[in-house]
Structure formats: C-alpha cells, structure tokens
Amino acid sequence: QLQLQESGPGLVKPSETLSLTCTVSGGSISSSGYFWGWIRQPPGRGLEWLGNMHYSGSTYYNPSLKSRITISVDTSKNQFSLKLSSVTAADTAVYFCARRNYASGNWGFWGQGILVTV
Amino acid sequence: QSALTQPASVSGSPGQSITISCTGTSSDFGGYNYVSWYQQHPGKAPKVLIYDVNNRSSGVSNRFSGSKSGNTASLTISGLQAEDEADYYCNSYTSSNTWVFGGGTKLTVL
C-alpha cells in the first residue's frame, strides 16, 4: 500500500527557508504514471496547491509563489522535497504531500500532513 | 490565481440529498475534465471522492456523484448520513497548467 510521509522542522523563523521532505513507500517515485505535489492548509482555512513535479524533472508551481518555491526529487531515496524561501507568518500551515495520476485530476494519495509555524 | 467559488456551508437532514457547487471561469477549468472533489474530516488529510468530473474513487459510496455543466461543477450527496459531516473541496486543472482548489464547503448533517 502506497504511503507518503512528510518530515521537517515544525518551526521556521521569518525570512528563512522552509524545507520539507516527502518520503514515498510502497511504490516508486520514478514511475512515469504519476505527479508528486505539495498542498498546504493554513489553520482554519482552505487548501492551496503549491506545485507538483514529475520524476523526469518537469515542475509546475503556483504563480503566487513562483519566485519562492522549489520542488525537487531524489530518486535514490524515493523522496521529493519542498523549499519555500523568505517565509512570513502567512506561510504558517499544515503542509501535505500528495500523488496525482498522470492525465487525471485524481490526487489519490496524501500524506498525513505536517504543521509548520513561522 | 483565485480559488474556485463554493458555498461556505450547506446543511441537510439524514436521508436527504444535497448539492455543493463549484464555480469558476473557463480558464479555471482549462478545457479539461480534470475536476475532483475531496472530503476532509477535522485533523485529517483530504480524501478523494470524485475525480475527472464524475468518476468515483475506489471504495467511495455510490451516494456520492459528480457532474459539470459549463463553468460549474457539482457534487451531490444522496441519503445523507451523520458521517458525511465534513469539509468538501473541489479542485480543477487550469489553462495555465496549474491546479486550483475551491474555498471549501462545510457540510452539517442536522
């Protein structure tokens, strides 16, 4: 059974870089049939898509974050990562990693989420 | 990009049917049928109910159904049950190769 697990610091200082990792188990991140992405949810608020990537290297980002966000993959560790620079209190949120089927809108697998406070 | 528009809240009694709308622009829906719906209980990760407008995810009750007409997608829940009380979000692929969520709808089962 596929599982995704977010990890990283739960507290980040303003102006610093938020760094999170999503470890994938029960499946290969190198499968061509999927995209891997990050979605966040500020406390008491709705979901916001941050970006996603394919293991081949193609990445897509939310335009509102484009200058601050980087998503990368480490196929040797079966992990992908999120870096968000110059954070402010507005970046405080639960961050989820998730998998989407290629050529589909099905975000079918999600991690449990990790709360990051700025 | 702006969130898709959903009602903030809907309610219904057990056994009734409710519909949650999700409205955007033609660019928000990108000309594709990549609209999905997610259920989220407090403190939990979202769970996909419907993907690609009207495809029910594996294991999801047939009480949940999706549709789309023009720039409005809809999620219908029939035979409301107490465990359906949760937040619901729509999601769509846009013409800019990005994804956008709706603002979310809180469903209360009376």
A4-15 pLDDT, tens digit per residue, is 999 999 999 999
**What pLDDT was estimated at residue B27?**
84
**Cβ of B55 and A106 within 8 Å?**
yes
CB contact under 8 A, A106 and B45: no
Question: Do A106 and B52 lie within an 8 Å CB cutoff?
Answer: yes
Burial track A66-94 (b if 16+ CB lie within 10 A, e otherwise): eebbbbebeeeebbbbbebeebeeebbbb
Q: What is the SS3 string spanning A57-92?
A: CCEEECHHHCCCEEEEEECCCCEEEEEECCCCHHHC
B47 in contact with A, Cβ within 8 Å: yes
Using the Cβ of B106 and the Cβ atoms of chain A, whether some distance falls under 8 Å is answered with no
Q: Does B8 touch chain A (CB under 8 A)?
A: no
**Cβ–Cβ below 8 Å for A49 and B91:** yes
pLDDT at residue A107 in the model = 95
Q: Using one digit for the tens of pLDDT, what is the confidence trace for B52-95?
A: 999 999 999 999 999 999 999 999 999 999 999 999 999 999 98
Q: Would you call B45 and A113 a contact, using CB atoms and an 8 Å cutoff?
A: yes
Q: Which residue of A49, A96, A105 is in closest CB contact with B34?
A: A105
pLDDT of residue B16: 97
Per the CB < 8 A criterion, the answer to whether A2 and A29 are in contact is: no
Residues 6 or more apart in contact with residue B39 via CB below 8 angstroms: B46, B47, B49, B84, B86, B87, B88
- Residue B28, SS3 per DSSP: helix
**Dihedral sign (CA B105, B86, B84, B53):** positive
Contacts of A56 (CB under 8 A, 6+ apart): A32
Share of chain A above pLDDT 70, in %: 100
Closest by CA to A68, choosing from A19, A28, A30, is A19
The candidate with the shortest Cα–Cα distance to A99, out of A60, A41, A53, is: A53
Minimal-distance CA residue of chain A relative to B37: A106
Q: Which of B33, B36, B27 is nearest to B75 (CA)?
A: B36
